[in-house]
Amino acid sequence: MDRKGILIVVSGFSGSGKGTLMKELLSRYPDTYALSISATTRKPREGEEDGREYFFISKDEFEKMIAKGELIEYAKYVENYYGTPRAYVEQKLKEGKDVILEIEIQGALKVRKSFPGTLLLFVTPPSAQELKARLVGRGTETMDVIRSRMDRACEEAEGMDSYDYLIVNDNLDSCVEELHEIIQGEHHRSFRNKAFMKDIREDLKRLKGED
Ligand code: 5GP
Domain that holds residue 120: 7-210
Domain contains 40: yes
Atom of ligand 1 nearest to the CA of 71: 19
Residue 27 pLDDT exceeds 80:
yes
Ligand 1: does its nearest atom lie under 6 Å from the Cβ of 152? no
- How many alpha carbons fall within 13 Å on the CB side of residue 132? 9
Query: What is the number of domains present in the chain?
Result: 1
Q: What is the CA radius of gyration of the chain?
A: 20
Name the residue with the closest Cα to ligand 1, atom 22.
Answer: 107
N-term to C-term CA, the chain = 26
128 C-alpha to center of ligand 1: Å? 21
Domain contains 24: yes
Domain contains 66: yes
Domain contains 2: no
At residue 162 the predicted structure's pLDDT band, cuts being 50, 70 and 90, is very high
| CATH code (residue 174) | 3.40.50.300
Q: What is the pLDDT of residue 107?
A: 94
At residue 137 the predicted structure's pLDDT band, cuts being 50, 70 and 90, is confident
Ligand 1: does its nearest atom lie under 6 Å from the Cβ of 107? yes
Ligand 1: does its nearest atom lie under 6 Å from the Cβ of 77? yes
Name the residue with the closest Cα to ligand 1, atom 13.
Answer: 103
Quote the CA–CA distance of 15 and 149 in Å, as a whole number. 9
At residue 145 the predicted structure's pLDDT band, cuts being 50, 70 and 90, is confident
Contacts of 65 (CB under 8 A, 6+ apart): 39, 57, 71, 83, 85
Ligand 1: does its nearest atom lie under 6 Å from the Cβ of 15? no
CA nearest to 180, candidates 12, 21, 37, 16: 21
Quote the CA–CA distance of 182 and 29 in Å, as a whole number. 14
pTM for the whole structure:
0.91
Q: What is the pLDDT of residue 135?
A: 86
- Chain-wide mean pLDDT for the chain? 93
Residue 2 pLDDT exceeds 70:
no
At residue 177 the predicted structure's pLDDT band, cuts being 50, 70 and 90, is very high
Contact status, residue 100 vs residue 183, Cβ threshold 8 Å: no
Residue 1 pLDDT exceeds 70:
no
Ligand 1: does its nearest atom lie under 6 Å from the Cβ of 141? no
Atom of ligand 1 nearest to the CA of 39: 19
Q: What is the pLDDT of residue 139?
A: 74
Domain contains 1: no
31 C-alpha to center of ligand 1: Å? 25
At residue 138 the predicted structure's pLDDT band, cuts being 50, 70 and 90, is confident
Percent of the chain with pLDDT over 90: 81
At residue 78 the predicted structure's pLDDT band, cuts being 50, 70 and 90, is confident
Domain contains 83: yes
Q: What is the mean pLDDT of residues 125-146?
A: 86
Percent of the chain with pLDDT over 70: 99
Residue 48 pLDDT exceeds 80:
yes
